[in-house]
A and B are shown apart, each in its own frame.
Chain A
Amino acid sequence: MASFAFYLFALLAVSGGVLLVTFRNPVTSALCMVLSFVGLAGLFIGLNAYFVGIVQVLVYAGAIMVLFIFIIMLLDLNDEKPVKFKSSTLLAGVAIPLLLLAQILGVIQSGLQGEEAEFTKIDAETMKVSAAAFPEESAIHKSLSHEKSPKLPDTNLIGHTIFKSYNFPLQLMGALLLVATVGVVVLSKRSHTKAPTDS
């Protein structure tokens, strides 16, 4: 059942990616990218990472790609014309993916030889043991050591990791994004007010 879902969503993600580059119409391409994102989200959910999967849909498919399509529609782009490539460009375009493919195959090969290739499902016992690392009244502890239906509290665990272990980098990243946002607003506003001085 789980592997069936994996192949389904992997097919969705890969076919979305392939269709993205084959279609000539920009809107169709953008929608294929959405398909690919949805497939990726399905893969994340299959790995028990519900939060990451949902955020993938929420942020990429639901917000960023909507903006892409919005812009494409407003600009009213026409179909892309096929481009003649130089032979050296084509060669590089074939060689680099082949190198990456070889690397992935190497990793898979070395991973399969070791004993860690055997993935075990997270059972109630493991969860109970790992619950001891968290304070008794915390939501993570309660969810992991729940008597009837213990569940992996992935959202709480991500929050715990980000805000406990990586608090400073998170704040730094937030400041960086804020600076970028303010910078964009400042730059776009300045050109707007200065332009019509001669009127």
Chain B
Amino acid sequence: MDTTFLIAAAIKIAVFIGITMSFVSICVIFERRFSAIIQDRVGPNRTMIPLSILGFKKDLALPIGGLTQPIADGLKFIFKEDFTPSYVRKVFFWLAPVLVVVPALLTMAVIPFGSPMEFGNTIIPMAIADLNVGPLFIFAIASLSVYGITLAGWASNSKYPFFGGVRACAQMISYEIALGLSIIPVLMYFGGLNLGHIVEDQVANGWLLLPLWNEGGFIIGSGYWGEPLVVQRLLLLIPIGVSFVIFTTSIFAETNRMPFDLPECETELVGGYHTEYSSMKFALFFMGEYAAMVVGSALIVTLFLGGWSIGFGIDGMLPTGAWWVSLLHIGVFLAKVTVFILFFILVRWTVPRFRYDQLMNLGWIVFFEAALINVFLAALIIASPSIGLGGVAIGGAFLILVTILLIKVAKGATQKPSATAV
């Protein structure tokens, strides 16, 4: 039993970290090709394998449309001069890129990639660590990546990187609050923090954002409406939709992606916190950003879009625990994550960058309040069967009152101070 566990864990760590790393490099080629399509260019589509440097007559051109470009990009980073300026704080300067990549890869450990595989008598969950505190683990470890960026800015001992680091620090702390508050309705609905159970719940009762089926059957059949609490479940789509919007936007801010990439805003800060970095150390920041994006997409897919489930009741027809079903589910999961990564890229190349005060206002005044109200709304809907009509009426009135008050406060906060006060 124990040896099976250890072997399985080792294989899972190797495979899933490998998948994440290859996704990072695939992200780069996706980003370049997709941006090229948006800007009506061609993009890198004809990278060859340079056999000529090994003495062959011709370079090898594979018909895979530039998919070898990431190899060329990586080699370029490795072969560039790794220059450390003389004025930097050496230890932290070297430590910072590592502190960006490691947390981003560690968070992958709790994501369930596929349905559990049965192996003899033991059931192997397709997550490296099947923790009961999944989302909290991700938030905790992801919050450590702030250190990398902040230290990079500080250790560079130079003006613009420092601004970038300070901006990143403020931005990530602000959006962590919205991030944590926004998924409370989701966790209240599932009643647990185990990501594996959350996905299994969605297999039976429909994806969180797409409750088209439940244990009774499809939405068009009478079995669906015969299940208890159907109306409550459909009403819950309102707070969950709000959660989804806030959560996705906050993930954009957490990963420092456009439109929230102010820490590396090149028009104001040269290059941001990694201005002084070169070669592979710069590439580590790059990888950290993309790895965070992959994990963010995986988390959104797991929480809101059914994780590895194929959906529409197909999962129920497949045999549980067979190895090919697990592999199929892993494929489905990766396909969903890819779609989300493409969405990330689409947003980056369509939405212009925010101003810094707009970013802070959005985080502290809009998202923070909206997430709080959302928690109360979800609680009211979930509790409605047990508190009766009177309770719902009182709760609803209270909720409307609080909402109006919060909007008033928020409006007061966004107003510019009058000229006499200054």
Our verdict on whether A and B bind, yes or no, reads: yes
Q: Which residues of A contact B (CB under 8 A)?
A: 27, 31, 34, 50-51, 54-55, 57-58, 61-63, 66-67, 69-70, 73-74, 139, 143, 148-149, 151, 153-156, 193, 196
CB–CB B169/A66 < 8 A: yes
Q: Are B133 and A51 in contact (CB under 8 A)?
A: yes
Flag the segment in B62-70, B146-154, B301-309, B362-370 that touches A. Answer: B146-154
Please determine whether A66 and B143 come into contact, CB atoms closer than 8 angstroms: yes
Once the chains bind, are B136 and A58 in contact (CB under 8 Å)? yes
- B-side residues, CB < 8 A to A, are 92, 123, 131-133, 136-137, 139-141, 143-144, 146-147, 150-151, 154, 162, 165-166, 169-170, 173, 176, 191-193, 421-422
CB-CB < 8 A to A63: which residues of B?
143, 173, 176
B166 near A155 with CB under 8 A, answer no
Q: Please indicate the chain B residues that have their CB under 8 angstroms from the CB of A34 in the complex.
A: 147
Minimum CB–CB distance from A131 to chain B (whole Å) comes to 16
Q: B139 to chain A: which residues have CB within 8 Å?
A: 58, 62
Are the C-beta atoms of B173 and A67 separated by less than 8 Å?
yes
Is the beta-carbon distance between A155 and B132 smaller than 8 angstroms?
yes
Q: Are A69 and B166 in contact (CB under 8 A)?
A: no
Q: Are B144 and A61 in contact (CB under 8 A)?
A: yes
A55 CA / B133 CA spacing, docked (Å): 10
- Contact: A27 with B92, CB < 8 Å? yes
| Contact of A70 (CB < 8 Å), options: B141, B144, B169, B193 | B169
Q: How far is the CA of A63 from the CA of B131 in the complex (A)?
A: 22
A155 neighbours in B (Cβ, 8 Å)? 132-133, 192-193
Chain A hits for B162, CB < 8 A: 73
Return A52 CB to nearest CB of chain B, in Å: 10
Check if B191 sits within 8 Å of A139, measured CB to CB.
yes
| Among candidates A58, A66, A74, A143, residue contacting B147 with C-beta atoms closer than 8 Å | A66
- Residues of chain B contacted by A153 (CB below 8 angstroms): 132, 192
Task: State which of A51, A58, A73, A143 has its C-beta within 8 Å of the C-beta of B166.
Answer: A73
Find chain B residues with CB under 8 A from A58 CB.
136, 139-140, 143
Check if B150 sits within 8 Å of A70, measured CB to CB.
Answer: yes
CA distance A84 to B178 in the complex (A): 47
Task: Identify B141's interface contact among A55, A57, A73, A143, CB under 8 A.
Answer: A57
Query: Which 7 residue pairs spanning A and B have beta carbons closest together?
Result: A62-B143, A58-B140, A57-B140, A54-B136, A50-B133, A54-B140, A73-B154
Min distance, Cβ A108 to any Cβ of chain B, angstroms = 30
Please, how many angstroms separate the alpha-carbon atoms of A143 and B132 in the complex?
10
Q: How far is the CA of A74 from the CA of B176 in the complex (A)?
A: 21
Decide: A51 near B140, CB < 8 A? Known: A66-B173, A70-B169. Answer: no
Q: Which chain B residues border A67 with CB–CB below 8 Å? A: 173
Residue pair A50, B131 in contact (C-beta under 8 Å): yes
Q: Is the CB of B140 within 8 A of A148?
A: no
- Minimum CB–CB distance from B82 to chain A (whole Å) comes to 24
Q: Write out the residue numbers on chain A whose beta carbons fall within 8 Å of the beta carbon of B150.
A: 66, 69-70, 73
The answer on a CB contact under 8 Å between B192 and A62 is no
Q: B residues within 8 A CB of A50?
A: 131-133
B141 partner residues in chain A, CB cutoff 8 A: 57
6 contacts between A and B (CB under 8 A): A27-B92, A66-B147, A73-B150, A148-B123, A155-B132, A156-B192
Q: With a CB–CB cut-off of 8 A, which chain A residues contact B192?
A: 139, 153, 155-156
- Contact indicator B147/A31 (Cβ below 8 Å): yes
- Interfacial chain A residues near B137, Cβ < 8 Å: 54
Measured between beta carbons, the chain A residues less than 8 angstroms from B165 are 73
Contacts of B144 in A (CB 8 A): 57, 61-62
Task: Determine if A55 and B123 form an interchain contact, defined as CB atoms under 8 angstroms apart.
Answer: no
Looking across the interface, which residue of chain A has its beta carbon closest to that of B154?
A: A73
Q: Which residues of B contact A193 (CB under 8 A)?
A: 421
B contact residues around A27 at 8 Å (CB): 92, 151, 154
Q: Are B147 and A54 within 8 A (Cβ)?
A: no
- Chain A residue with the shortest CB-CB distance to B2: A1
Task: Report the bound CA distance from A196 to B140 in whole Å.
Answer: 42
Contacts of A66 in B (CB 8 A): 143, 146-147, 150, 169, 173
